[in-house]
Structure 1
């Protein structure tokens, strides 16, 4: 579909793209992919709202972007995706700053943490990676519609292949907790949310995509130990793993947000700046059918509304 691939960087993707007059919002913007995604969008002229929960880290990230893009139009918003009240307050702050949004990149996440729970009692990975972003996105939907054509990019992962969505016990109240299974479930939820959101908002000019950024060593891996690396390596040498740089890892998010190749499309899972093929047992790439199933996407939407205690009728 494009001339890009796994080695493509954000600079290559954003070359020739003009985002002047557009507002972009990036969650998890205080480190790693979030900083680079913000820098890339700002370099093309977008006014970028960088969102994170730690004010000090966010200030440092803003300084990094300004150093790289001196004329960057940047603003910030603080919110904790693991606390729905914080999400609600942060969303109101964002709407006041930018009532019209063209690009929303739901980049923040947590991976392979011990069993922990959010402020409202959800399993931490599902609660942060999906539920918090679900509420934030739905609250920002009026601004996305006002800014149409608009795009929402949800960072999923090849880790979605670790687990389908368990709609009966999503928060591990009855089944034994396994951190990689829980991570996989949350990444499947990101892909399904992209399907459900696209179904509901495409008629109003808002399209949604899920993205696998690739394997990158960032703060996302802070909960990992040597045994976790053994799981990832699966008997291979580390030299055989195609780790990406942060610039390469952010490229598919930026491509999903800006590429004309994706005009008129949505509800898709993207990797290496391409639309992913169906997953096969002998290939680590690709998307499992359960992560794009529209029936499951609707069920997850209803479950998510129950979890946040609010209905969104778009």
Structure 2
């Protein structure tokens, strides 16, 4: 990949380091799931550079605490809270309606559920793909006019960032039975399917909106110990090598500040001006997966334009937007 896009940042860079030097005064951003984990650090880095950041969260009390924490360093009023439940399409629509005609410059689809027991959203969709993909698809579709307005107002392309994961390797999207109506449920396969969908969403979104001033990319943040692991037994994380018997986290894991860095780079990096439909990791365009480098790289199925189009058609039919 001689034309691979890279940056001065890397594996251990932090969100604040990536954001340094950017003046985001007058810019508006939305970060879903930003009450904890890498979401709050993503929102913090943007707010501290002057952006008006809306923390879109399911639990308003946690969101209020996160906003207060961010405002203590970024300045009062930089972060505010909006309620959204991505597992409920009516909630997503209400959030978008409340946003209204405000221009939007950055939308970071950060929220996720991982490896949960088999369950379904309020709209009858398998919980992981229903929340991680279909909820964010609906949000991105409804906020497209706001992102277009943001580009027009600022004179710079707006950016949509879709968080994927190394877990995308476990499965592409099963278009015959994405919601496990007839096949046996596997929590990691379902997570992989959802994370492949997140990457394909960026491919499809960029293709449809790049000429309207919006670029979209997918991000693999890295391994970070956050509330995302809430459904995993300690024994399973030890078996995976994520921690030892004493609870010490594997050195390969990033801090939350480091885990937020690629999201912030995807939102701000000048190297990505006009460039979209990519899968990014460690503040660079990911290389194709190589089994000799097991913790990096992207599988071809996560960037397949035909699969992205097929997913877009399915998503339109599923959420009606």
- How far, CA to CA, are the matches of 1:29 and 1:239 in structure 2? 23
Tell me the equivalent position of 1:299: 310
Structure 1 counterpart SS, 2:176: coil
Deviations 1:72-91 (A, max 9, x none): 52222101000001111111
Tell me the equivalent position of 2:136: 133
* 1:219-238 matched pairs, under 5 angstroms: 219-230=227-238, 232-233=240-241
Tell me the equivalent position of 1:55: 60
Deviations 1:5-44 (A, max 9, x none): 1100012101101111111111001111111111110011
- Is the contact made by 1:84 and 1:132 (CA closer than 8 Å) also made in structure 2? yes
- CA shift in 2, pair 1:234/1:176, >3 Å: farther
- How far, CA to CA, are the matches of 2:7 and 2:87 in structure 1? 36
- How far, CA to CA, are the matches of 1:178 and 1:270 in structure 2? 26
Tell me the equivalent position of 2:33: 28
- How far, CA to CA, are the matches of 2:229 and 2:242 in structure 1? 17
The question of 1:77 aligning with 2:82 is answered yes
Deviations 1:250-308 (A, max 9, x none): 00000100010111200000000010000112222000000000000000000111110
- Is the contact made by 2:92 and 2:138 (CA closer than 8 Å) also made in structure 1? yes
* 1:6-25 matched pairs, under 5 angstroms: 6-25=11-30
> Among 180, 202, 217, which residue is 1:172 paired with?
180
> Among 70, 89, 92, which residue is 1:87 paired with?
92
> Among 124, 127, 148, which residue is 1:124 paired with?
127
The question of 1:100 aligning with 2:103 is answered yes
- Is the contact made by 1:152 and 1:209 (CA closer than 8 Å) also made in structure 2? yes
- CA shift in 2, pair 1:39/1:234, >3 Å: closer
- Is the contact made by 1:38 and 1:48 (CA closer than 8 Å) also made in structure 2? yes
- How far, CA to CA, are the matches of 1:240 and 1:61 in structure 2? 27
> Among 266, 271, 279, which residue is 1:269 paired with?
279
The RMSD of aligned alpha carbons is 1.7
Tell me the equivalent position of 2:154: none
The question of 1:67 aligning with 2:72 is answered yes
- CA shift in 2, pair 1:231/1:278, >3 Å: farther
Runs of 4+ in 1 over 6 A off after TM superposition: 234-239
- How far, CA to CA, are the matches of 2:287 and 2:120 in structure 1? 34
- CA shift in 2, pair 1:281/1:133, >3 Å: same
- CA shift in 2, pair 1:242/1:67, >3 Å: same
TM-score normalised by length of structure 2: 0.92
Structure 2 counterpart SS, 1:222: helix
Unaligned runs of 5+ in 2: 1-5, 152-156
Structure 2 counterpart SS, 1:117: coil
Deviation at 1:309, TM superposition (A): 2.4
> Among 190, 195, 202, which residue is 1:182 paired with?
190
- Residues matched between the structures, number: 308
